[in-house]
Structure 1
């Protein structure tokens, strides 16, 4: 049965020593480039936790997974069994695993919303700008919803932010753009009530109407 399963990862609960041992040489080199120890530790924990989750689907060792990046930076492992996507922000990460086809996810803390009105023209379609609420706090939250929606859809599509977000318009749960294949996805927000401190959008194939929580 085709499903999309959402796994939440809390990096601050992970053992960083164990986590480091799971990563590939390339991942450890990438982690070492972080300026701040806290960022390096969290990134390592998230990547290691994601490896363990993915390994559980394949019944293999987490360290043996070949984690690669495709066009648009979309992650994949050589497997015909599922696709996945990962997003993280501070103390929380979310991993979506799909046996239904491509999937995209974006997670942002609501606290970031206050920054978005300053750069809204850099990612909003002109028609979206005209429809935004005027009240500052509501406008900021609406912008955050638009941003996570666009990121999730473009990640599922595979183009990522190489496609200009200003050319993508969010209408309800769908994305409207001159981008072949984008119309095969719609948006779900499975954690709106349980994790209101985050805006989490998941782009899934149209036939998927519910996301399972791990």
Structure 2
């Protein structure tokens, strides 16, 4: 169910003000410390036409951007876009079957350098049938790797359940921002393999979930914000 207050918190896609469908906000992922071998993926979006994606990695590290599609919510995915570059300029992507599909976007660092800051934004082209924010974010993070994603605004959803699962202990935290996407604080929730707790953002704030791998081994983790 993924991230940022409309275009502003999504880092202002030019077309991003229209990026919200009637059933969810646009997808995004960001973080600091994407180690060699790390991968971060958004949750899914359902589109009956196509999706939009864009992103960038600092230091101009040539990372791998992919958009994947599946005909069903939990079905096998195929790459419908794959590019290796430091910046993914706004791109429109459709299913290879030219029909409705479930999409997700991913960013992989296959270089020998650490990406110190990155951002990936992704959303279904607005239509009556389009839905953003389906399912969980996923990440594979080396020791010290960090990923953020899954966003909720307190003005729209006063209570939400955070569910996270990992194969090793990781640190779950929330990053609180105001309505202009200015970060106010970050609060550590707990360090554990799994987390399940209710969050209650203030009406004037948004919450974004961040996950940091504090273990000495690689972590495979997913997390989701479940609205009532």
Common fold: TM-score over 0.5: no
TM-score (norm 2): 0.28
Higher RCO (CA 8 Å, separation ≥ 6 residues): 2
TM-score (norm 1): 0.29
Which structure is higher in helix share? 1
Which structure is higher in strand share? 2
| Larger-Rg structure | 1
